[in-house]
Structure 1
Amino acid sequence: MPASLVSGLSLDRLTRISPYFNEHYVQPGKLSGFAALVARHGEIVWADAQGLMDIERNRPMQRDNLFRIYSMTKPVTSIAMMQLYEQGKFLLNDPVHKYIPSWRNLRVYKSGRYPDFETEPATTTMTIRDLMTHTSGLTYGFTERTEVDAAYRQLKLDGSSILTLDKLVERLAELPLEFSPGTAWNYSVSTDVLGYLVQQLSGQSLADYFDEHIFRPLAMTDTGFQVRPDQQDRFAACYLRQPGDTLKLQDDPERSKYLKHPRFLSGGGGLVSTIDDYHRFAQALCQGGAFQGQRIIGRKTLEFMRRNHLPDNQDLPALSIGGFTETPYQGSGFGLGFSVKTDVAKSQTIGSEGEFGWGGLASTSFFVDPQEDLVVIFMTQLIPSSSYPLRQELRALVYGALV
């Protein structure tokens, strides 16, 4: 094999990634910096870090920097939940009210404003699968689309210093759903509710459960809900995109809430991680549930999770209400915890059918292509994730390197 070829990937072509993102994003000041990693056949073929982790202090980005991964927490929570499924702790078609009795008589929004909502009974019962596929009827406050999500904002249900998982579940019982469960797709706090269920079913806090059953087995020593004192000098700053494609500091790494252990353990978006740590998790998913001899999920369970679980095998545009940019909608369905590519041509982005992954609010992303035995991780810290087509451009560069 030529020296420039590793695991069927051209290194000459992979090394285009850094100059491309440097020229188009880092140098013009659209991104502070980034770290990225490409692995194939279980081997890390290429990894790099460019730009700055902290513009204000002029600190260079390093491969081992810690990033707020936001919604890339969701696949971790989903794996945790399915570990408990494998132990017979629940069934996917179980009604959620079996575990949260106050959710027995959930209603659907008709009209009005919080707290004076007019509602009607839901025509279906919310199941655990509805939570795992975002077809639950719940929403997010930051979507700013409806009177229901306005109530989420008013009650600070997307996370606040006083919120806990118990309080979230209690408050949600009092609010109407956007639609009857199973009838539409809407990105939501569903995975935070799954985090609550992981605690109820396991008898452990979400942080302790993750540590014992996922992070320690995979030697993910840099991933958690808090940036420890020994990690603080590696914690990247987070930025907000401003008009004119400039950056404004959104979260100072030396004053961040992540420096303290949170009261609200967000299974939907609370973790920090590194490209190498998250690679260990994604590589386990690529290898049928195990990494370096440590199995975190059964092979058949994982196969089941990465099928499209949307009704009648529909893709996201067919079922989605409102706009959302974490993943290209066309040609993508949703499995139990991540998006799943169902039609490559329809998606208008290069890839393989059966590929799965997800991204986070601060423009981080990952995907696993089982067909090509390929894992790609990209980390930066820019809100919102819809600012630039980073994921599509990265795919073109990575897949162009396959020989």
Structure 2
Amino acid sequence: MQLDTVLALASCTKLMTAIAVLQCVERGQLDLDVDVALILPEVGKYGIITGFDDSKNEAILIPKVNHVTLRQLLTHTSGQAYDLVHPLLIKWRASRGEEPWTGPTIEDKTTVPLIFEPGTAWAYGGGSDWAGKIVERVTGQTLEEYMKKHIWTPLGIKDLTFWPKTRKDMEDRMADISMLGPDGKKVFDVPPGVFDITYGATDCSGGAGAFGTPSAFFTLLQAVLRKDTKLLKPESYEELFRPQLNEQCRQALNDLILNDQVSRDFLSVNVPVTAKKNWSLAGLLVEEDQPGWVRKNTILWGGLPCLVWFCDREAGLCGFAGSQVLPPMAPPIMKFHESFQRGIYDVYAATTQ
């Protein structure tokens, strides 16, 4: 693992997709609060799943009432959930003879029933994948083409892509995926071909599909921290950073992290369980200072093979810690990343006294 090692960035991709969306909003191509069905008729077309009739092997579905908006897709309040982890969606897939999150396109992977009425709760899901798809549809470009032109090249970044295996200069630097053993200490190599982090995708996944080096992603984070106008206007950065959830959705997010251990491991990115949280267009937002660590309104997020980033505007600090280790967001690895973050804040405190 080196600064130029190519990592699967997984859900760290969501930050770049949010930037792409806001760029399209600036140009008048998209609106955060308009019904996305005008461009993405697939979203919510099955309605809302409320249960499953095992005797008939059929999902119980009801029509949705509210529109799904782009803002909801980016903040996980649309009702869209990952079918890999939701019991009813797993049953719905099985009733159709399908496996969760399969098929080559975003439409294949993400066209599933909603799990609640849009705008009324919170669930982590493929909203950013749909957001990436809507960018593609309004611009006529793939996300690879779009981000290269409007995000990566303006910042001088070369080592970000959705297709590293098509680039010999990156393929040779790709990290292997490893697995943490049951003891939480020993690490085992995952044989090639056993785990495909793209799940056979032929589309660019705006929610989890990018690959890049730590140096490249950190360059992006630094640009976001300093509000680089090569990417967005100042008012768009404010929209990117501000808390987005209404009280009902905010409570749903906090309750999920507080009451469900699996969700806590996946979603808290080391922020204490009792700390109040919100969601921004960029990621998890901390609503109160954490002594000796991140400040209020710091944004953090990560990616499946134990990656995590943070952006603390008040302190003027950002950071990225990367690994390629499973299981997803494994607590021993995440705690190691927390030690890195806290060490950075220790240095910061010593230099600001």
TM-score, length-normalised on structure 1? 0.74
Task: Name the residue aligned to 2:77.
Answer: 135
Unaligned stretches of 5+ residues in structure 1: 1-60
Pairing 1:146–2:106 present: no
Unaligned stretches of 5+ residues in structure 2: none
Question: 1:366 deviation in Å?
Answer: 1.0
Change (3 A) 1:349 1:176: farther
Supply the AA of the counterpart residue of 2:60: E
Task: Name the residue aligned to 1:217.
Answer: 154
Structure 2 matches for 1:4-403, cutoff 5 A? 61-103=1-43, 106-112=46-52, 116-143=58-85, 145-151=86-92, 155-158=98-101, 160=102, 162-168=103-109, 172=111, 175-227=112-164, 228-245=167-184, 246-250=186-190, 252=192, 262-290=201-229, 295-312=230-247, 314=250, 316-318=253-255, 323-324=263-264, 325-326=266-267, 327=269, 328=271, 330-345=275-290, 350-383=293-326, 384-388=328-332, 389-402=335-348, 403=351
Contact 1:140 1:187 in 2 (8 A): yes
Mapped to 2, the partners of 1:288 and 1:194 lie a distance apart of 22
Question: 1:202 deviation in Å?
Answer: 0.8
Contact 2:292 2:346 in 1 (8 A): no
Mapped to 1, the partners of 2:45 and 2:133 lie a distance apart of 19
Matched residue SS, 2:321: strand
Change (3 A) 1:332 1:248: same
Contact 2:12 2:302 in 1 (8 A): yes
Change (3 A) 1:118 1:192: same
Change (3 A) 1:167 1:281: same
Change (3 A) 1:395 1:197: same
Mapped to 1, the partners of 2:321 and 2:231 lie a distance apart of 23
Q: Which moved more, 1:272-281 or 1:238-247?
A: 238-247
Mapped to 1, the partners of 2:48 and 2:139 lie a distance apart of 30
Matched residue SS, 2:180: strand
Contact 1:157 1:163 in 2 (8 A): no
Matched residue SS, 1:135: coil
Mapped to 2, the partners of 1:67 and 1:137 lie a distance apart of 30
Change (3 A) 1:104 1:141: closer
Change (3 A) 1:133 1:258: closer
Give me the CA root mean square deviation: 2.7
TM-superposition CA deviations, 1:14-60 (whole Å, max 9, x none): xxxxxxxxxxxxxxxxxxxxxxxxxxxxxxxxxxxxxxxxxxxxxxx
Question: 1:83 deviation in Å?
Answer: 0.5
Contact 1:340 1:357 in 2 (8 A): yes
Mapped to 2, the partners of 1:386 and 1:152 lie a distance apart of 27
In terms of fraction of residues, the more helix-rich structure is 2
Mapped to 1, the partners of 2:132 and 2:60 lie a distance apart of 30
Question: 1:117 deviation in Å?
Answer: 0.9
Q: Which moved more, 1:317-326 or 1:104-113?
A: 317-326
TM-score, length-normalised on structure 2? 0.84
Question: 1:177 deviation in Å?
Answer: 1.1
Change (3 A) 1:140 1:113: farther
Matched residue SS, 1:278: helix
Mapped to 1, the partners of 2:46 and 2:21 lie a distance apart of 23
Supply the AA of the counterpart residue of 2:340: L
Change (3 A) 1:379 1:113: farther
Contact 1:331 1:344 in 2 (8 A): no
Mapped to 1, the partners of 2:52 and 2:205 lie a distance apart of 29
Q: Which moved more, 1:113-122 or 1:351-360?
A: 113-122
Mapped to 1, the partners of 2:288 and 2:107 lie a distance apart of 39
